[in-house]
């Protein structure tokens, strides 16, 4: 097979094959967007987009996603740094455990949280401190549970790419370990932190499975943007569902463009 791919003819075949796969996948997603545009009645679309329910869903999604992203980053920074730099028994097991939210279905994570709040400890927390089940804090908790693993993985890659010798030099110049971290490592990780914040925030905006399982799907109460799509389709209001889909697409595209801009700036010579 490798003999066939040698020479100018093999290079042309390889180039055509890779570009064809790229074109097919791009056309697939373009076709989905075009079908949404063709199906949309723009007067109905604007009315749905400006309805009280959708505006509430937009506000709630932006607020909860922002809070969840901040909490996730506050947890992910020290955890990712510890996983990247420290060596301890059972590190591989801990590292794998932290990746579980990435590979486990969000619905399963939401169900696990719901089961926890039906235990004596979880019930005491839910009854006496903060109400999570079928409440707005439950949205934030579900989002944090889903996106924290993503934040940790992204930040671990960032810390892995920073040479530990920078911290060692700072230590020899009189900095303590916390000072070396905050004055040297964290500034070097700035672009990775920003990219991680944007990506985890966008992922929190689009979170559905764990949210609807733990916080429920109550209109004008726990209705985030993905929940609004679910409720709109359940009531056969396709125009409203499409309006929300476009909002999520715009948020996702803006987030991805921002990340690509940061990555391009980082590797610009």
Task: Render pLDDT for 155-172 as a digit per residue (tens, 0 to 9).
Answer: 999 999 988 898 888 888
Is the pLDDT at 264 greater than 80? The verdict is no
Torsion angle, alpha carbons of 16, 21, 27, 28, to 10:
160
Q: Which residue has the higher pLDDT, 207 or 86?
A: 207
- Reported in sequence order, the residue ranges of the chain that DSSP labels E, i.e. its strands, are none
Q: Is 131 helix (H, G, I), strand (E, B) or coil?
A: coil
The CB density around residue 56, as the number of other CB atoms within 10 Å, is 16
Highest averaged pLDDT of the listed ranges 93-97, 187-191, 226-230: 226-230
Q: Is 58 helix (H, G, I), strand (E, B) or coil?
A: helix
* Helices of type H across 104-237: 106-116, 120-128, 136-160, 165-172, 177-180, 186-188, 190-205, 209-214, 225-234
Q: State phi, psi for 152 to the nearest 5 degrees.
A: -65, -45
> By C-alpha distance, which of 79, 236, 61, 60 is closest to 159?
79
Question: In the 8-state DSSP scheme, what is residue 220?
Answer: T
Q: Which residue has the higher pLDDT, 239 or 151?
A: 151
Per-residue confidence (pLDDT) for residue 158, from 0 to 100: 92
Is the pLDDT at 267 greater than 50? The verdict is no
Q: Which residue has the higher pLDDT, 264 or 147?
A: 147
Per-residue confidence (pLDDT) for residue 268, from 0 to 100: 47
Please tell me the pTM assigned to this model: 0.87
Is the pLDDT at 193 greater than 70? The verdict is yes
Per-residue confidence (pLDDT) for residue 231, from 0 to 100: 93
pLDDT single digits (tens) 56-107: 999 999 999 999 999 999 999 999 999 988 888 888 888 888 888 988 999 9
């Amino acid at each position: 097979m490798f003999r066939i791919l040698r020479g100018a003819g093999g290079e042309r075949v390889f180039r055509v094959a890779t570009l064809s796969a790229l074109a097919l996948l791009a056309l697939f997603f373009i076709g989905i967007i075009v079908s949404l545009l063709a199906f949309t009645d723009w007067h109905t679309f604007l009315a749905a987009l400006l309805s009280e329910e959708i505006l509430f869903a937009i506000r709630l999604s932006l607020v909860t996603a922002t809070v969840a992203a901040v909490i996730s980053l506050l947890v992910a920074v020290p955890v990712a740094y510890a996983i990247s730099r420290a060596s301890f028994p059972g590190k591989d097991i801990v590292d794998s455990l932290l990746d579980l939210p990435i590979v486990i279905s969000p619905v399963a994570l939401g169900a696990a949280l719901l089961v926890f709040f039906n235990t004596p400890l979880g019930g005491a927390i839910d009854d006496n401190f903060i109400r999570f089940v079928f409440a707005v804090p439950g949205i934030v908790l579900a989002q944090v549970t889903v996106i924290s693993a993503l934040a940790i993985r992204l930040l671990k890659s960032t810390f892995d790419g920073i040479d530990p010798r920078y911290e060692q030099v700072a230590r020899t110049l009189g900095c303590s370990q916390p000072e070396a971290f905050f004055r040297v490592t964290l500034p070097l990780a700035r672009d990775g932190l920003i990219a991680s914040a944007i990506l985890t925030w966008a992922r929190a905006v689009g979170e559905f499975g764990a949210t609807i399982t733990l916080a429920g799907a109550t209109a004008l109460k726990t209705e985030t943007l993905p929940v609004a799509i679910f409720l709109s389709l359940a009531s056969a209001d396709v125009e409203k569902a499409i309006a929300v889909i476009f909002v999520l697409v715009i948020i996702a595209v803006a987030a991805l463009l921002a990340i690509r801009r940061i990555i391009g700036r980082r590797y610009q010579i």
